[in-house]
Structure 1
């Protein structure tokens, strides 16, 4: 992996997109790493670029409850991984017009909640498991043109995650419990079971 700054990454994507009909960029990171912010910033800074979060591929709560994984929502097995792989494959071939989004207030997926602009040729896709080296996630590896991962120390991740849950109305003890019993568990999955990205952006406190 090559360390890169956000500014240099934007410049690299501009160069990479020249003469190409579409470029697929994977922005990977643990919960709380800042991947959504980076992806949204990149898409806003680049011509004909669009930010697409993976969150719309959460399984619905009823399905998770039935399979006993609702408390682990956000883990790899709580996503429609096969559906996401099909989506990215269609995106790469220019055959996708919409994508599902996730309503955090309702804690529910909105089917076809997002529309892909017809002139988009840089797709900045962000999510935890875009480089996961497990089936069927590993099928994504050949579809990305550029991959970047965000590295943040676990102490800083904990601080951000507790702050996030507190901001969503949870008391401090519950926020800490959620961070340690789900989010940071998923962060270690991202760290330990993902392929290496082309580039890395490291958070420096």
Structure 2
């Protein structure tokens, strides 16, 4: 049995009759959270859906108003209250519409993900699900489990730079952004590893 099979089995076991389960995946930028979420949901089929935290990025105009444009992706550049409210709705309502983040346009699109009654497992992924800060600390109690996705910096950082280039930055701009912004955020996330229910080593 593969590691993915084990993880799929553990995720499936979270589902109980009469309730929807929510599994969190956290970890530093570029660790492979989105990839793992897609693999889990792909293996679980129509009973599962991904709802990323990234849909709760504040709009660029609001970031400019707040003076936070130069560090988009930091904890205070998200609508954490909206995210927590969505997690609560996932527990209480059969059908919920969630936002998604369009990386090419760098903006969130409201109501783009339909969480339907047949979705008995929601996989939500993002950097700060275990962060012990105001607002963020409300997230953990709304997750059945939270797994930390780990990847060596030697692989993660070049992969992250390449992702920024793919979405339109020059190589120099991508490296500067990663070193200044993404890695600053990673330093906040790494200590949360000890609060995870499971550590998954990505590849």
Given the two structures, how large is their TM-score scaled by the length of structure 1?
Answer: 0.91
Q: Does 1:25 align with 2:20?
A: no
Q: Which residue of 2 aligns with 1:44?
A: 42
Query: 1:78: which partner in 2?
Result: 77
CA distance in structure 2 between the partners assigned to 1:124 and 1:97 by the alignment: 14
Moved more, 136-145 or 192-201: 192-201
Question: Is the 8 Å Cα contact of residues 104 and 168 (structure 2) preserved in structure 1?
Answer: no
**Is residue 87–residue 96 contact of structure 1 (8 Å, CA) maintained in 2?**
no
Corresponding position: 1:146 with 2:149: no
Residues 127 and 140 of structure 1, relative CA distance in 2, 3 Å threshold: same
Instruction: Give unmatched runs, 5+ long, in structure 2.
Output: none
Q: Which moved more, 1:57-66 or 1:150-159?
A: 150-159
Listed as ranges, the matches of 1:1-205 within 5 Å are 5-47=3-45, 48-94=47-93, 96-193=95-192, 196-203=195-202
Gaps of 5+ in 1: none
* RMSD after superposition: 1.8
Q: Cα offset for 1:96?
A: 5.0
CA distance in 2, matches of 1:161, 1:60: 22
* Structure 1 stretches of 4+ moved >4 Å: none
